[in-house]
Structure 1
Amino acid sequence: MSTHPQEKELEKQPSIVADDGLESASEGEVLHALIAEDRAHDIQLRTMSWQKAAWLLAGDQVCLAIMAQSWSLSVLGWVPGLITMILAGVLFWITSITMHKYIMKNPMIMDICDFGYYIFGKSRIAYEFSGFMLLANNILIIGFHVLTGAKVINTLSDHSQCTVIFSVITTLMGIVMSIPRTLKHISFMSIFSAACMGIAILLFLVFAGIEPAPLFGYGGNYPELGPVKTYAFPLPGTTWVDCMNAVLNISFLWVPQILFPSFIAEMERPQDFPKSLAVLTGISVFLFIVPPAIGFRYLGQYATAPAFGSLGVLGYKKASFAFVIVPTVVIGVIYANVTAKFVYFRIMGKSRHAHSNTVVGWGVWIVVIVVLWFIAFIFGSVIPSMGDFLSLLGAAFDSFFGFIYFALAYWHLYRGDFFKGPFRSVMTVLHIFIMIVGLFLLGPGLYAACKAIIADYAGSTRPAFSCADLSI
């Protein structure tokens, strides 16, 4: 068993940590020491108020994936669809609170990799595994946003250039906007990101309501599938793989916790994170359920992902989809910042360059940012269907970072007291269910995602670095 690098640093301070490591110091003392250490740096990370953290959370969560939820409802129908959405929201709140409580017990945690390190008994293998998962998940998500940016510019410009050119433009914008080192600075971008996505959603709902009927649908264009209709349960012919991918689509939207430990680590008062979480949950419950439900009401079986694609009037489509370019780039920047910090501190360690305004420090930071966005650009250009790969992310990664890790954290927090009183008993049962959900996503969910990808490759696929029109 190896010692975590930050433990070694604090063990040099005998007034705070005794020979047996962090166990002998209180959580408050450790947190105070970490904050004091950060204050001594030129570039201070622990500077976010809970309000700025709420902006950052909203900027991360209010995203294009909201516009794919009408499609999920069109696959599942009202009853399974709404039950899945509400259940995902409840589990999101519970797992996020459990995560925060565990981090308060272990304030050394700086990112999801540290979280994995601690819940698996300070295992270096778990740390490296979590690091690989963090890199794979986040780079693919950044690649998805590169592809989405190309789609937006394609749509707005009527495919005036090769799609690869638009991907390069999106990548360059992402690199420039990723230069700030602290999440506090990025939180300001998140305000505009969430506002722009809100405008895009509002415009879509207005246009969907005033159009006599949607035009496009996956199964056929209007009126090939008959009059627009909604239904309580999946339509005949809907496969289990279709339903599972719709569920993964919903769970992907509700599982952003891979970034939360990094957000908490940059707050002035990490104990205030539940306030930020409450703001985010209120926004999410409304935006993740109400607009998709309205979209399904007007699009029915013609719903596409994103729902902008079902609009028939080109002007409506462009007017609403145009605002998506801001959250597309900003969310990519948020993921790039968290990912870059993991790589950067692995390279720089505890050297003076890691937290100082030196040429070496900034040079390495910029190189890491450029490399991350370049790799993401490659993935966004060579994968034929990023939508199916997002389902793969939801199954392979969110099963751990949204469910399994936090069920294990609950076990560490309350072992020996699992059924101490009615409330604790209920929470224990819920966390057992959370573990089951995580294992289900990792098993049958991963199978369904792989089946969808195989089906993509069996049919006509988008060539790598294609100039094909990707307009919605």
Structure 2
Amino acid sequence: MLLLTEYVVLAILAFPSSFLVLGMAGGVLATLIIGASTYYTSHVLWRYCMKHPEVRDICDAAFALTGKRWAWWAAFVGLALNNWAIMGLHVNAGATAIQTIRGGTECTLVWAVAIAVIMWFFSNLRDFKHMAYIGIIASTTMFICTILTIAGHGAQAHPNGWAEGDPITITVWAPEGTTFVQGMNALLNIVYTWIGHALIPSFVGDLERPEDFPKALAVSMAFEFALFTLTGAIVYHYAGQFSTAPGYGSLISRYGKVAAGFTLPTIIIVGILYSLVTSRAIFFQIFSEGSPHRTRHTMKGWTTWVGIVFAGWVISFIIGEAIPFFNDLLSLISSLFDSWFGYILWAFAYFELYRHNETRSRWAKLEYGFNILILITGAFFFVAGTYASIQSILNSYAAGAIKAPFQCTNTGFTFTA
């Protein structure tokens, strides 16, 4: 349930916009190939955690790989920036969903504060046991939202924004004139949705039977392959060039507002999950293994925990509201950190796990070569993705599309019908 909570999220509704840039075939192939690589590298990560049971989070994994304390800090900075940015995104997404439902003209910033306060309050949970139960609500409501979005596009006569005489156009591959920056950002959106490795060591480390993790991984991945691919393909088929991110923006009012409402539980609960993982990484460094503040209800332990959680949400809110090119920044963070957390680190983990394997079978040789490809893929996303993200920021500034920090305008979708 934690894996489904992590993966069945609002970002699924951004797949149609990626298909719009990559084309139907390009979008499907990208989704399947990136998903397959995610499944494999997640399995390698689990194998590494089984060999190193002292690993409790992604930072410990980086330390175990290198034996260097700086690696722990580098991984922590990546984890914190990645998670705080995602938490900030959820603040904005929650406010946008509320404004879409209400159709009002109130200041979006007010709703952003309200959503942030709600997520902060419930982030004071300290273990994953309760989150697993709450995660059922998040994944279920997001699944319902996705089905509503898909069904709504099939039921409506035309997508939101359509005008009389407009043909709905779809392409097999990327449309003519698509730039490398546009294509790379669409690809990074798919990578961002698939890559969830940063939370996996925390899940495995908390399991009573960590050897059972591959079962949960297989079930959740099978579900995600179907949901991600079908959502992108079907919505893009019906909405064509009117595809939006999130996908409920291309629905007409009667369907779009309902779908937006179902995103709210997921937005809140997934924001709490990312806060929990980040806060635990900090908390475990303040109180070492065996400390009574970890396992008992001490005043010092709870005061420290509440302070960490509060500081994390303040930072997230500032990131989400103060940085004017937030969407491009998220692509930048995805290229900078998902390339490492999703690919590069686990290629090195594989090399360490099997470095003493003197007699390699044919399968072992193929797997070794595949991990070299994984390493090259991560390096490509790191270099090319970072370039594309920075160039997209520059293009947005040049086009005057950058919003002012802490703006008070209505960011909800406007429905034409």
**TM-score, normalised to structure 2's length?**
0.95
Distance apart, 1:408 and its partner CA = 0.2
Equivalent residue, structure 2, for 1:89? 35
Aligned twin of 2:64? 118
Instruction: Return the alpha-carbon distance in structure 2 between the equivalents of residues 414 and 349 of structure 1.
Output: 31
Aligned to 1:194, the other structure's residue is in SS state: helix
CA distance in 1, matches of 2:175, 2:267: 32
Alignment partner of 1:265: what SS?
Answer: helix
Greater per-residue helix proportion: 2
Any gaps of 5 or more consecutive residues in structure 2? none
Q: Which amino acid aligns with 1:161?
A: E
Tell me which residue corresponds to 1:291.
Answer: 231
Report if the CA contact (8 A) 2:128-2:206 is conserved: yes
Aligned equivalent of 1:104: 50
Larger Rg: 1
1:239 equivalenced with 2:184 (yes/no): no
State the alpha-carbon separation in 1 of the partners of residues 106 and 208 from structure 2.
46
> 1:179: Cα distance to partner?
1.4
Helix, strand or coil at the partner of 2:198: coil
Q: Check if 1:69 corresponds to 2:9.
A: no
Judge conservation of contact 1:418–1:428 (CA < 8 Å) in 2.
no
Q: Which amino acid aligns with 1:386?
A: F
Alignment equivalent of 1:195, drawn from 136, 140, 148: 140
Q: Which amino acid aligns with 1:69?
A: F
Q: Residue 348 of structure 1 corresponds to which residue in structure 2?
A: 287
Cα distance in 1 between the residues matched to 2:119 and 2:104: 21
C-alpha displacement at 1:455, in angstroms? 1.9
How do 1:9-408 and structure 2 match up within 5 A? 55-120=1-66, 122-216=67-161, 222=163, 226-311=166-251, 313-350=252-289, 351-408=291-348
Compute the displacement of 1:160 (Å). Answer: 4.9
**1:223 & 1:72 partners in 2: Cα distance?**
25
Cα-to-partner distance string for 1:76-132 (whole Å, 9 max, x where unaligned): 112222111111111011101111111111110000001101112x11111111111
Secondary structure of residue in 1 paired with 2:369: helix
Deviations 1:39-81 (A, max 9, x none): xxxxxxxxxxxxxxxx011011101111111111111112222
**Structure 1 residues 468 and 419 mapped into 2: Cα distance closer, same or farther (>3 Å)?**
farther
User: Any stretches of 5+ residues in structure 1 without a counterpart?
Assistant: 1-54
Seq. identity, %: 34
- 1:152 alignment partner AA: A
For 1:425 and 1:87, how far apart are their aligned partners in 2?
21
SS of the residue aligned with 2:343? helix
C-alpha deviation, 1:314, in angstroms: 1.6
What whole-Å deviation, never above 9, does each CA across 1:142-182 have from its counterpart, x for those lacking one? 00101111111111122353111101111111012111110
Aligned residues: 411
CA gap of 1:222–1:95, structure 2 versus 1, over 3 A, is farther
CA deviation string 1:251-293 (max 9, x = no partner): 1111000100011111101111101101111111111111211
- The one-letter code sitting in structure 2 at the alignment partner of 1:81 is G
Residues 177-201 of structure 1: CA deviation (Å, up to 9, x unaligned):
1111101111111100001001111
TM-score normalised according to structure 1 size: 0.85
Could you list the runs of 4 or more consecutive aligned residues of structure 1 that deviate by over 6 angstroms after TM superposition? none
Task: Provide the aligned C-alpha RMSD in A.
Answer: 1.5
Q: Is the 8 A contact 1:214 1:222 kept in 2?
A: no
Q: CA deviation at 1:349?
A: 3.3
Which amino acid is 1:319 matched to?
V
Contact 1:384 1:456 in 2 (8 A): no
1:359 corresponds to which letter in structure 2?
M
Aligned to 1:37: none
Displacement of 1:302? 1.5
Q: Secondary structure of the residue that 1:259 maps to in structure 2?
A: helix
Instruction: Tell me which amino acid in the other structure corresponds to 2:269.
Output: V
Alpha carbons 2:85, 2:319 under 8 Å: kept = yes
- Judged with a 3 Å threshold, the aligned counterparts in structure 2 of structure 1 residues 203 and 363 are, in CA distance, closer, same or farther, namely same
Query: Per the alignment, do residues 215 and 157 of structure 1 end up closer, same or farther by CA in structure 2, a change over 3 Å counting?
Result: closer
Q: Which amino acid aligns with 2:273?
A: I
1:222 and 1:66, CA in 2 relative to 1: closer, same or farther beyond 3 A?
Answer: farther
Amino acid at match of 1:180: L
Please give the alpha-carbon distance, in whole angstroms, between the structure 1 residues aligned to 2:46 and 2:322: 37
Question: Is contact 1:207-1:316 (8 Å) kept?
Answer: yes
Query: Which residue of 2 is the match for residue 460 of structure 1?
Result: 401
SS at match of 1:376: helix
Which protein, 1 or 2, shows the higher relative CO under an 8 Å CA cutoff with sep ≥ 6? Answer: 2
Deviation at 1:419, TM superposition (A): 7.3
How far the C-alpha of 1:248 sits from its partner, in A, is 0.5
Worse overlay, 330-339 or 300-309: 300-309
Query: Do the aligned partners of residues 348 and 298 (structure 1) sit closer, same or farther apart at CA in structure 2, a change above 3 Å counting?
Result: same
Change (3 A) 1:428 1:262: same
By how many angstroms is 1:223 displaced? 5.7
Whole-Å Cα distance in 1 between the matches of residues 255 and 378 of structure 2?
Answer: 39
